Structure 1
Amino acid sequence: MSKGTLFDKVWELHTVGTLPSGQTQLFIGLHLIHEVTSPQAFAMLRERGLKVLFPERTVATVDHIVPTDNQVRPFVDTLAEEMMQALEDNASSNNITFYNIGSGNQGIVHVIAPEQGLTQPGMTIACGDSHTSTHGAFGAIAFGIGTSQVRDVLASQTLALAKLKVRKIEVNGALKPGVYAKDIILHVIRTLGVKGGVGYAYEFAGTTFDAMNMEERMTVCNMAIEGGARCGYVNPDKITYDYLKGRDFAPKALDWDKAVAWWDSIKSDDNAEYDDVVVFKAEDIPPTVTWGITPGQGIGVDQQVPTPEQLSEDDRVIAQEAYKYMDLAPGQSIEGTKIDVCFIGSCTNGRISDLREAAKIAKGRQVASGIKAFVVPGSERVKKQAEEEGLDKIFVEAGFEWREAGCSMCLAMNPDKLEGRQISASSSNRNFKGRQGSASGRTLLMSPAMVAAAAVKGEVFDVRELV
């Protein structure tokens, strides 16, 4: 009887061969590209006289450098305009599908592929972006890769990779009101550490995940990389299939039934053997906020910044650095920390369900005086749907800015940047030093609902009091 995990099955099905290094040459079913990590890769192909082997398996969009307020071309930022033109030229000359601004399909690469049904169970997916693990929510094995690997996939549709171990992360029970998928993954990373997943794929399972919608699962898988895991995934089920059915690139008619039967066959077996298993109780997870300079430095909103004595020796050095950089004292309550900027968006939390939850908090309230708060939909489709539902009006009436689709202030390779020592409540995925565009800017990661609560209160606030 088979004892395989989904990871094992998908890996085996996509193995082309074993390389002299011992690595697997793995076929990549879908390659997603954007404007930041692809120009050099295409240049390397041209230098070698190579062509894109399977252009129909590559899809491009623009997201990182896109302004979210004024999108008139040419962009004010000349480097951004050059990168934009390079992607347009490379996609056109290589017959690659490109979802440009104004196409109705442009957006963050990890938002547009799922919403169009490009992402499907059993796939191998690669993209020159760390958070490609997002696509694992569908039961795909998805890797973030570097520029030289982007070149390799364009040229050969394969990657040289060492096979990973598999850790099952089981979460059971119901989340309490005011606790969201973002809190789960911040709690997992806080518990296991930012290096805890090195060498592993994370399989997320348990009754909590069984009850989640696809966008919640995407949020968790998105940040698997922040816990050190190379990828994260959830086994496909009826929720997956209901989400995919009828989408642009989903199988149709008789092909649909065949696809579902195959997708069911690649799930982890009931008796699958794992390299490690970690179990959490959903009711133990509070609304979680990062206080430091890594996603692993998180605490419950009603808790205090840890003291050195509460930390392991390994964690104390980075904690000392974080205290100083963040200007937070050991033992200080995180709730009540004053905020300057509130950002709702990113490939972690820029989908329609994220905006709905934030809008529930914003509705009938006002952004606090002196706070810059803005909402950036993850794609043009998300923006359109949000406007059809009137979410944009709720945000604008509350004092938020409503923007165009893009990565925005997640990593600030665009005009959306922190200034000086500003401190941000952000629904994105990284709180590294300088991450949001200012070398001294500070980032607190939290759920979109928590960001909305911070916006209306002007400080870190327990969203459970507003739900």
Structure 2
Amino acid sequence: MSQPKTLFDKLWDAHVVKTSEGYPDVVYIDRHFIHEVTSPQAFDGLRKRGIKLFNPARTTATPDHNVPTKDQHLPIKEALSRHQVETLRKNTAEFGVTMYDLGHPYQGIVHIIGPELGLTLPGMTIVCGDSHTSTHGAFGSIAFGIGTSEVEQVLATQCILQYRPKTMRIEINGTLGKGVVSKDIILYIIAKISASGATGYFVEYAGEAIRSLSMEARMTICNMSIEMGARGGLIAPDETTFNYIKGRKFAPQGAAFDSIVEEWRQLKTDDDAKYDHVLTYDAADIAPMITYGTNPGMGIKVTDRIPTIAELNDISEQNSFTKSLEYMGLEPGSQLLGKSVDYVFIGSCTNARIEDLRLVASIVKGKKKAAGVEVWVVPGSKQVEEQARKEGLHTIFEEAGFELREPGCSACLGMNEDKIPAGKYCISTSNRNFEGRQGPKSRTFLASPLSAAAAAITGKVTDVRELV
């Protein structure tokens, strides 16, 4: 009888082309996503060596990091951003890669368009020159970010050299409380195990609370696996997954869909399969979360106070903790609740899907933003933007004084025009709060779309449970 296997091990073994003791495995890649930032050098490498793409049909491109989120019909103003997007256009045309350019109805953040177009499917191996490729693992696939030299490797061979990671299971059992959403779950886990607590692991999320989540909520959790050091995260596919995929543009259709669903149903961890590490949490203990520092592990329940140096678990953290609070202009032992904010950013590959925008609208409908707070709502794709308009969400946002922009990575990272000014506080639904991540000397609090919406209305860090 064969050894019981985890879902990760089943998927990995099914994609290993060659294995040799002491060397990385040669792993076949089903789907390769590219954008304008990490692909230019890879295409240059192919050009210099006179190599064509091994399989252009398995690569999909879209610009997202450097694009403006206003006036996308006009030429890009920033010279570097314009050059990067134009280079992507040139490279994809020359090498025969499908690209969804600015203005195309399928354009958007790469990790949002893959699932919504049905390009991301259970059982796949998926890579992109972007750490948050882990998002796609929500479909029961092995998805991870790669470096530029590896982008070239995949373009040339449709394979990649990788050492097999260890496996971790994180189980969340029970029922989530009022005002608690998937972003709170992942911020809670990272706060518990730290920003390096899953280094070297591929994480499978399981348990009753995970199964109860929509696909969009599951994507948020897998997206931020990277923020605890993991190689990636995945969730076994189920009826929720299959219902989400059915009818998507590039997903199998009709009888082919019904047939492949039967295969997808087998994609689960065997009983008695062993993980290298297992963690279990109670959903009832999870509250609306917020970060206070400059890494995603520095998070607390919104009603808690920032720890003091004496309360740190690890003495080696003291210097970085002190430096982080100085950067953020915060005091150890103080509360964030009631802290004034200047900007609210709702967007990024973590939280810019239609469900995220609906959550925000549910809080702000009929209300106005606080004076002095600037609020940007940036949909993750043209399809999300169109759906938001179709549902009248744009009217709710406009009446509240929020600015609904066009799709892109926007203020998640300071690579485009959407930067938070120096010294200003921003509540952000994005995934990282590093120094200068949202612009030089900007200060970021990570939170859920619900908590961000509450701050936009009140002008300060707020426990959203008081508003729902």
- The answer to whether structure 1 residue 407 and structure 2 residue 409 are counterparts is yes
Structure 2 SS opposite 1:335: coil
Between the aligned partners of 2:317 and 2:142, the Cα distance in structure 1 is: 31
In the alignment, what sits opposite 2:76?
75
Instruction: Check whether the contact 1:204–1:232 (CA below 8 A) recurs between aligned residues.
Output: yes
- 8 Å CA contact 2:414–2:436 kept in 1: the answer is no
Could you list the per-position Cα deviations for residues 92-141 of structure 1 after superposition, in whole angstroms to 9, with x for gaps in the alignment?
Answer: 11111111111100000000000011000110000000100000000000
Identity of aligned residues (%): 51
Aligned mates of 2:75, 2:407 — CA distance in 1: 17
CA contact (8 A) 1:128 1:147 kept: yes
Match of 2:130 in 1: 129
Aligned to 1:140: 141
For 1:64, the equivalent position in structure 2 comes to 65
Higher mean Cα deviation, 69-78 or 402-411? Answer: 69-78
- Distance, in Å, in 2 between the alignment partners of 1:47 and 1:306 is 54
Asked whether 1:428 is paired with 2:430, we answer yes
Question: Is contact 2:422-2:439 (8 Å) kept?
Answer: no
Q: CA deviation at 1:268?
A: 1.1
Quick one: which amino acid aligns to residue 436 of structure 1? Answer: Q
Decide whether the 8 Å contact of 1:351 with 1:378 is kept in 2. Answer: yes
The correspondence of residues 45-444 of structure 1 with structure 2, limited to 5 A, is: 45-312=46-313, 313-438=315-440, 440-444=441-445
Q: Secondary structure at the match of 1:174?
A: coil
Number of residue pairs the alignment of both structures matches:
466
- Counterpart contact for 1:164–1:200, Cα < 8 Å: yes
CA distance in 2, matches of 1:210, 1:347: 21
Please tell me the residue identity of whatever aligns with 1:164: P
* Distance (whole Å) between structure 2 residues aligned to residue 337 and residue 22 of structure 1: 52
State the alpha-carbon separation in 2 of the partners of residues 300 and 387 from structure 1. 33
CA distance in 2, matches of 1:254, 1:68: 40
* 1:142 alignment partner AA: A
Question: Is the 8 Å Cα contact of residues 38 and 150 (structure 1) preserved in structure 2?
Answer: yes
Is the contact between residue 174 and residue 208 of structure 2 (CA under 8 Å) also seen in structure 1?
yes
Corresponding letter in the other structure for 2:429? S
Q: Distance in 1 between matches of 2:88 and 2:147?
A: 17
Residue 72 of structure 1 deviates from its aligned partner by 3.4
Alignment of 1:6-21 (within 5 A): 6-19=7-20, 21=22
- Deviation of residue 258 (structure 1)? 2.2
Q: Which amino acid aligns with 2:333?
A: G
Measure the CA separation in 1 of the matches of 2:380 and 2:364: 19
Provide structure 2 residue ranges, at least 5 long, that are not aligned to the other structure: none
Aligned-partner Cα distance in 1 for 2:373–2:336? 18
SS for the counterpart of 1:88 is helix
Q: Structure 1 segments of 4 or more deviating over 6 A?
A: none
Question: Normalising by structure 2, what TM-score?
Answer: 0.98
Contact 1:19 1:25 (C-alpha < 8 Å) held by counterparts: no
What is the CA-CA distance between 1:74 and the residue it aligns to? 2.1
Structure-2 separation of matches of 1:314 and 1:236: 40
User: For the residues of structure 1 that align with 2:174 and 2:316, how far apart are their CA atoms?
Assistant: 32
Deviation at 1:253, TM superposition (A): 2.2
Distance 2:394 2:283 in 1: 32
8 Å contact from structure 2 (residues 344, 428) kept in 1: yes
1:453: which partner in 2? 454
Cα deviation, residue 252, structure 1? 1.6
Indicate if the aligned counterparts of 1:368 and 1:458 stay in contact, CA closer than 8 A: yes
Deviation sequence 1:336-379 (CA, Å, 0-9, x none): 11101100000000000000001111111111111111100000
Which deviates more, 265-274 or 300-309?
265-274
Deviation at 1:317, TM superposition (A): 2.2
TM-score for both structures, normalised by structure 1 = 0.98
Shift of residue 21, structure 1, vs aligned partner: 4.8
